[in-house]
Chains A and B, each alone.
Chain A
């Protein structure tokens, strides 16, 4: 440590930043490499169809209309099942978050039932709710229900106690405290839970449609797989991925609008 010189800057790195364009570029390079691999014959077509072949399959099914029929059937199941699970889940989550009497019993049930893979129960749901739409709705709703309960009550648990005390010190009614302090305070956690439950719902949707359905993206993928139409199979998977991306982007928008105050 002798001599003199400029003091080196040492506080670099450990602060990753977000660069959307490099994310898009990564996907593009990935697709390009995949296409080149297929074009030069390094990747056999049956083994993994080229992106171009997948796009062609998508286009074919879009034109014939069966893509839309299947997508619509899946979207409807997703909407009904997810909404059902979310509404019931939030209600139970609020009850658990508010009432001592319900807390331990409900949490015991949630802890016991949450880890069960819902896919394993699909045959049972078919016996209970029929082979039709009922069993699909039930599968999704139950899968969505548990994470929603957990995100709701933990959101309520994390509402700052001092805000609740403030409300009480101003003699706000219990109902006002719930509506104006507890629920808005829990909302960030509830919306973060939506991110998880949307993915869960998509996974369960496909599983349910593979076990007992003649329409929907899951049935489409299963049929393609049975016939070794791998281009159709990948096309179905691409649809699922796009569905997840779209819903996640939608949620980001909602969060930005709801949390302008952050």
Chain B
């Protein structure tokens, strides 16, 4: 029991005692096009160590493309991404994703899915099991270690996705609409958990969403993209600390209204666009 408490209290502490990520990300004049379709246009952005940035914009504005460029999954047509700062010594995969569709291997159990990303790096079976156990406790999945993904609800599946991402002690965390495949109730619950985790982990995080509520709940800064080709329209800093924010806070609600008024025309126009970019 005591053992479990310490694990929960310092889930992501490294040997030096500091939990904060010291990795800075810089996007320099990044543009991208698929074929003749320009998706992103001259994006320059500096993401501070430990900062949580939400990328928000109408559908098709290139948010996900930008996220994949950030983590090296798409080569940008122009510009570059820089990563600065030493990663923690125990970091196994500096740039780590949480996927919208979970991307779990259906033939592996919960435990096996987390194990997958550790097997290449932690060869000691006992150490690996300990790490898996720590993650399962962190995310409340202890009782589901041997369940297959198809047996889990969407919320549980995404918990596995999050546990898998945190298991490698990432320097930067990229979340691509992690809650959008979930129903509204699960989404609200998991959003709170995610906010707590993110606030505590202090990992440099980029969170893509079209949900303003999520962005306001989780981010230090909201980066608003225009519709295709995506350009940075405005950047809105949110002052209050993440773990103190609550659903329905008056200033969050008014900020959401303000944001929505800024993007509703674009969102409506984007909705009526013919979609040949996909």
Contacts and interface: CB of A to CB of B under 8 A. Distances in A.
Contact of B150 (A173, A181, A261): A261
B111 to A, nearest CB: 13
- Size category of the A interface is 10 to 19
A165 B72 CA distance: 11
Interface string A247-262: 0000000000001111
A172 B120 contact: yes
A105 B164 CA distance: 40
A260 B105 CA distance: 13
A172 B105 contact: no
B73 A261 contact: no
A172 B107 contact: no
A170 B117 contact: yes
Interface in A146-188: 162-163, 165-173, 176, 180-181, 184
B119 A169 contact: no
A168 B168 CA distance: 14
Interface string B83-123: 00000000001011101010101111000000011011000
B171 to A, nearest CB: 12
- Size category of the B interface is 20 to 34
B103 A173 contact: no
B105 A180 contact: yes
B87 to A, nearest CB: 12
Contact of A169 (B97, B106, B120): B97
Given A170-B168, A176-B119, A184 B107 contact: yes
Contacts of B106: 261-262
A170 B169 CA distance: 11
B100 to A, nearest CB: 9
Q: 9 closest pairs, A vs B, by CB?
A: A166-B103, A170-B117, A261-B148, A261-B107, A169-B97, A162-B103, A171-B93, A184-B107, A170-B93
15 contacts: A162-B103, A165-B73, A166-B97, A166-B103, A167-B116, A169-B97, A170-B96, A170-B164, A171-B120, A173-B120, A176-B119, A180-B105, A181-B105, A184-B105, A262-B150
